[in-house]
Structure 1
Amino acid sequence: MSATARSTFVPVPITTDNGTSTLDVEIATVMPRQGSGLLTATRHGLFAQVKVATPTTRVPHGVTTYSASRLEGERQWIVDATFLPSGRPLHVNGFGVRFLNVRALPAEIGALLDQEAVRLGLVQSADADTPLTLPPRG
């Protein structure tokens, strides 16, 4: 189950230590996913692909694409991979890998992904205050 959740870019105000700026965000995909690794048990969670740009760079320079995941029990979306506007990978981890270059998406983008997961019926509720709980697997 996946969806083209946002077919257009939406402005998202992001607050950092340096103040507030606005990013254009498009959610390309949100879907349940599972993965396993050599050193870990099977991971269950949500996968998302998000396109991000500043309003001034989106048209002339393109967008940066992030693959992110939020596993069961987690409170935030973690970046699994980053691709530059040229398509060149900046960093790539597998789905749900949490031991190499672990960093979260800004909370404001995470909240947008949580809202989309609820809207798509992938979870009953999702927010940064509670660990992610997926419906029972059958």
Structure 2
Amino acid sequence: MTGFRPDLSFLSEVRLDLDQRLQAPAKLAPEIDPNWHSCGSVQPHGYDVLAQPEEGLFLAGMKSYGRAPSFLAMTGYEQVRSIAAALAGDLDAAGQVELTLPDTGVCGGAGLFDSEEGSGGGCCGPVGPQPVSLGGLSTTGGLS
């Protein structure tokens, strides 16, 4: 994902309110800035933060995070639930965004970020090098 940029070209004819640096909705950008937040520290957000100046247009899912690398699918599911409730006219349900994400190694990028002694590697699996075999050769140099 190095150099990832969202493709917003298909939205060139509609009004958008995007942060210049992250290319995310302007109201969401300060909450997802990777210089200050991991995905676990992003506050739950819904339709009101994702709404664009073009009536009825919302950016959700990966597009809502622009260049920020910390998007998780669970976030997208809650975004879409909130937007669907708002479009259906149920603003009470749309405003009840209660997603709580763990501040995990996946978010922190280290793999050991949330591991505890003896936990088997935290969220990201075993810690340390793991043997891999490709086409009958193992990483130990011999045939498997």
Q: How high is the TM-score relative to the length of structure 2?
A: 0.28
Structure showing greater Rg: 2
Query: Which structure dedicates a bigger proportion of its chain to strand?
Result: 1
Q: How high is the TM-score relative to the length of structure 1?
A: 0.29
